[in-house]
Chain A
Amino acid sequence: MENKYDDRILVNYLDGSLDPTEKQLVEQEMEKSDAIQERLDLMQFTIRAIKFKAYKSSVKEIQHDFLQHRIENKSFTSVSTPKLEGKVRSMQFWIKIAASLLFLCSLGYVLWLFQADGEQLYETNFISYEIALDRGAGLQENQLESLYINGEFYQMFQVSEETNLEEFNSFELLLLGTAALELNNPAEAMRYLQKIDSDNIQNQSDDYQDEVDFFMAMAYLKQGAYEQALHLVTKMRSDEQHKYHSNFSWSEEISIRLQQML
C-alpha cells in the first residue's frame, strides 16, 4: 500500500471487495499504524450512521402502522356485548351480524375519511422546519437564520422587505417559506417555496427539494388546493428515500383524494 491513507482501499476493505492479499496488507498496515486504524473506524462508524438513518425511517413507519392498527382494534374491542348463554345461533345469524358490523365499520371509516378536511390534515401533519445542528460549523449564520431560530418570524419579513426574491439563496427562501407557514400565511409561503422549486427545475438541482415538497403540500392543504397537495403527497409517499416519506399515512392520502372529489 503505497499511500497509507488511501481512502479507496480502506472503503474497499470495509465493503469486503479486496482480494485476500490486499486484505492482508491492509490488516498489516493497521497493526502498525494507529492513524489507519482510526480512519477505518471513522469510516465504519459513518457506514453504520447510513444504516441507522434507514433503520430510523423503517422504525418510524412501522411504529406509525403499529399504533394505527392498535387504535383501530381498540375501537372495536372496547364495545362490550351481552353474553348469549344457552342459545345456539345459526350460521346465517352470525353472517348477518358480521355483515352489519362490516357495513357499520366501512361507513364509519368513510365518514372519518370525508370529515378530515385540508385544515385538519394541516393541523395533524404540520411540523416546524428544524435547521440542521451542524450548520453553524461550516457556514456563517445569517440574520434570517438567527431570527428563525429565535422564532421571530414577523421580524424575518421586516428585515427582508427591501430584498428582491431573486437575491435570496435557497436556504433563505426555505426559511421565509416555512416562517410564513408558522404565521398561518400559506399564500405567502408559496411565493418562496415555488421559487426554490422553479429554480431547481431550471438548474436541474435538488436544493432542499424534499423540504419544498413537504411544505408546499402543507400550504396547498391549508388553502384547500387538494389536487396540488395530492400530487405532492403521492410523490413523497411513493419515494422511500424522500425525507418526508412517512409523514402522510395511506388513509390521509385517501382523505385528500376524497376531498378533491367533493
Chain B
Amino acid sequence: MGKSTVWTDKEILEAISGSSQINEAIRQLYEGYYGVLENYILQNNGSEADAADAIQETILVFLNLVETNRFRGESSINTVLYGINRNIWLTMLRKRKSSVNRNQIFTKDQDQEVQDISKTLEEVEGYQLIMSLFDKLGKKCRQLLHLFYYENLSMKEIAAQEGYTNDQIVRNTKFKCMKELMDQIEGNKNLKDLVRNALGYGK
C-alpha cells in the first residue's frame, strides 16, 4: 500500500474507465472504504471473514458498473459501494437461509436508499461461467486475450513480448482463440440463456 495520497472520486473513476493505473484505483477503494463496508457487515451479524468475502465481491461489482458505463459519478462512490455491499450481504444471508438476520437488517436499514444492482449481479454470474470456459483454453490463448483486452497491449507489442513472428500472426491467433471461446459459449445452452437474459434478450 505504497500510495499515500487520497484520490478524489473523479480520479478513481477515470483510472478505472481509462484502464490506466487500475490497480492503484482498486487500492484507493480498499484504503478509503474497506473500514466502512466491513463495519456494516460486522454490525449486521457478519464476521471479519464474511466481510472480506462480501467486500471483494462489492469491489468487483463496482468495477463492472463503471466498466459498463452504468455509474459515471452521479452519486458518491461511498454511497454506491455501500448499496452494493448491502445487497451482496443480504444475498449471502438469503443463501444461508437466515431470515432472522435478514429481518434485523431490513428493520435497521429500511430508510437507506440503495441502488438496484440485480442486473449487475446477473452479469457477474454470467462472467463467472464464461471464466470457467476461458480457463479451459490453452495457456497461449489465455495469455493473448488477457494482454490484449486487459493490459491493452497492441498486436505489435504482444508479438514482441510473446515471441510471435509478426502482428498479423497475433491477430489471427487472437481471433482463433476468441472464436474457440465463443463456440464453447454457443455450445452451452444454459450459459447462453443466462447471458441472453443478462443482456435483456431473454425477457
Binding site for B on A (CB under 8 A): 7-8, 11, 15, 38, 41-43, 45-56, 58-60, 62-63, 65-67, 69, 132-134, 137-138, 206, 209, 241, 243
Contact = CB atoms under 8 A, between A and B. Distances in A.
A66 B179 contact: no
B133 A134 contact: yes
A181 B60 CA distance: 32
A53 B27 CA distance: 17
Given A46-B181, A58-B26, A52 B131 contact: yes
Contacts of B145: 50
B148 to A, nearest CB: 8
Interface of B: 1, 22-23, 26-27, 30-31, 34, 52, 55-56, 59-60, 63-64, 67-68, 123-124, 126-136, 138-139, 142-143, 145-146, 148-150, 175, 178-179, 181-182, 184-185, 187-192, 195-196, 198-199, 201
Contacts of B34: 66
Given A45-B199, A62-B27, 6 more contacts: A11-B175, A47-B149, A48-B127, A55-B22, A133-B129, A134-B133
A209 B196 CA distance: 32
Given A41-B199, A59-B56, A241 B146 contact: yes
A132 B130 CA distance: 10
Contact of B199 (A42, A56, A66): A42
A65 B150 CA distance: 21
A63 B129 CA distance: 23
Contact of B190 (A46, A63, A132, A134): A134
**Which 10 pairs from chain A and chain B are nearest by CB?**
A49-B130, A54-B150, A132-B132, A49-B127, A52-B127, A66-B30, A137-B188, A53-B131, A50-B149, A41-B199
Contacts of A67: 52
B56 A60 contact: yes
A138 B188 contact: yes
Given A8-B175, A134-B132, A58 B182 contact: no
Contact of B129 (A11, A48, A134, A209): A134
27 contacts: A7-B175, A7-B178, A38-B196, A41-B199, A42-B195, A42-B196, A45-B130, A46-B181, A48-B64, A49-B134, A50-B134, A50-B150, A53-B131, A53-B134, A56-B60, A56-B131, A59-B60, A60-B56, A62-B26, A62-B27, A66-B31, A66-B34, A132-B132, A133-B128, A134-B129, A137-B190, A206-B138
A228 B191 CA distance: 40
Contacts of A50: 130, 134, 145-146, 149-150
A58 B63 CA distance: 12
Contacts of B136: 132
A23 B22 CA distance: 29
Contacts of A38: 196, 199, 201
Contacts of B127: 48-49, 52-53
A63 B1 contact: no
